[in-house]
Chains A and B, each alone.
Chain A
Amino acid sequence: DAGVIQSPRHEVTEMGQEVTLRCKPISGHDYLFWYRQTMMRGLELLIYFNNNVPIDDSGMPEDRFSAKMPNASFSTLKIQPSEPRDSAVYFCASSFNAWNTEAFFGQGTRLTVV
Chain B
Amino acid sequence: DAKTTQPTSMDCAEGRAANLPCNHSTISGNEYVYWYRQIHSQGPQYIIHGLKNNETNEMASLIITEDRKSSTLILPHATLRDTAVYYCIVKDNNNDMRFGAGTRLTVKP
CB-based A-B contact count at 8 angstroms = 62
In Å, the complex CA distance between A58 and B94 comes to 14
Asked if B87 CB lies within 8 Å of chain A CBs, one says yes
Query: B98–A45 contact, CB under 8 A?
Result: yes
Q: B90-108 interface mask toward A, CB cutoff 8 Å, 1 = contact, 0 = none?
A: 0111111111111000000
Query: B97–A107 contact, CB under 8 A?
Result: no
In Å, the complex CA distance between A3 and B31 comes to 26
Asked if B43 CB lies within 8 Å of chain A CBs, one says yes
Query: A105–B44 contact, CB under 8 A?
Result: yes
- Given the known interface contacts A99-B92, A102-B49, the answer about A45 and B43 at a Cβ–Cβ threshold of 8 Å is no
In Å, the complex CA distance between A38 and B93 comes to 27
Query: A99–B41 contact, CB under 8 A?
Result: no
Which B residues lie within 8 Å of A99 (CB)?
Answer: 30-32, 91-95
Other-chain contact of A42, B32, B94, B97, B100 (Cβ < 8 Å): B100
Query: A103–B46 contact, CB under 8 A?
Result: yes
In Å, the complex CA distance between A54 and B4 comes to 25
Q: Chain B: interface residue count, which band?
A: 20 to 34
Asked if B25 CB lies within 8 Å of chain A CBs, one says no
In Å, the complex CA distance between A106 and B42 comes to 8
* Residue among A42, A44, A50, A98 with most chain B CB within 10 A: A42
Asked if B86 CB lies within 8 Å of chain A CBs, one says no
Asked if B51 CB lies within 8 Å of chain A CBs, one says yes
In Å, the complex CA distance between A100 and B53 comes to 13
Which B residues lie within 8 Å of A45 (CB)?
Answer: 1, 96-99
Query: B99–A105 contact, CB under 8 A?
Result: no
Residues of B within 8 A of A (CB): 1, 30-32, 34, 38, 41-46, 49, 51, 87, 91-102
